[in-house]
Structure 1
């Protein structure tokens, strides 16, 4: 599914609406809004070009090899649901595998149960990986940051030049509400400039 690809036709619409009502404050000289060097579209704040998808993605989180797609503003909530369902299925599979094991100390038992034992160990490893992924994503969502922003904080101009540690953080409840319940794309520039202009 579309993770929130930035389209060239959106740029013309954004320019028209910006002329009609100046909603987004002028960008300060320290934070440069840029044009993508690959697909030549004007990138909104928090967008990044994905080399594998060959598109700029809004609120880019990461490119997931398991779903062969980017995780961005439009599909990130569904990615969290995907991880949750995957965790439930792995726990269920682990329970089934464990219930089939009857431990005896003999080579005959090991020979008959080796595949079930290996399956159980693999399920345990995958369960730990998926659980850690889900916990890390929920933590980042509660802070309103992305994996890309978390890993590359020092290289991203709008985070480096911000007076706040995380200019998009609006508190855990509002962050979770915006992430899971918002049906429209967010103008991150408005939140960024509003938060940075707040008195400290």
Structure 2
């Protein structure tokens, strides 16, 4: 493969970068998997949270005129905490999560207000690693129409096909998330729009949408 040839010729820069990207991907996986996605605190901690995190409060104040005033924070029927707008209870995590997007079985954690940006970074790095890995696997395949070739290259060919499948999945996931972020909506809100009171009763299709650039800025910054 290309990396083997570069290593044999003493060109270690690209192999080193590839290894660092793989390591970065692994570290991001554990970071996103283990961090607090934005669990809703109990009633005593809600005020402290809002004082420390003015971002969501500012966002909600900008859309309050576009959301029916009768909609208030409701108490979760599972963990009995007051749910702020855009929060949802995850029965797998047994917590309510702020700006809930979805529960990801791959990272075994919810994707919410606190770890969603890092989740996007993880997907991006993972995509680069997969594309590079696919290129490396492809460069090692020299096709021949013989049974012996298939026997000797079955593992490499299988690895390449597996990488292609994962690449397609990660690419589609990343594109869908970037689209939703650009609209300032979440996977849960997009899929369950008709069931969510603050969206169902709003005059606008998406009361949180403030334009693509501002949506992206608020999400990543």
User: Normalised by the size of structure 2, how large is the TM-score?
Assistant: 0.75
**Structure 2 residue aligned with 1:118:** 158
Matched, 1:28 2:69: yes
- Counterpart in the other structure of 2:138: 98
Please state if 1:140 is matched with 2:140: no
Whichever structure has more helix as a proportion of its residues is: 2
Q: Which TM-score applies when normalising by structure 1?
A: 0.82
Q: Matched residue of 1:167: which SS?
A: coil
**In the alignment, which of 33, 37, 40 is matched to residue 3 of structure 1?**
37
Please show how residues 1-200 of structure 1 align to structure 2 within 5 Å. Answer: 1-8=35-42, 9-11=44-46, 13=48, 28-29=69-70, 31-181=71-221
RMSD of equivalent CA atoms: 2.0
SS of alignment partner, residue 162 of structure 1: coil
Residue 66 of structure 1: CA displacement?
A: 1.1
Structure 1 residue 130: Cα displacement:
0.2
Distance 1:117 1:15, change over 3 A: closer
Report the CA distance between 1:155 and its aligned residue: 0.3
Number of paired residues? 174
Residues 11, 41 of structure 1: 8 Å contact kept: no
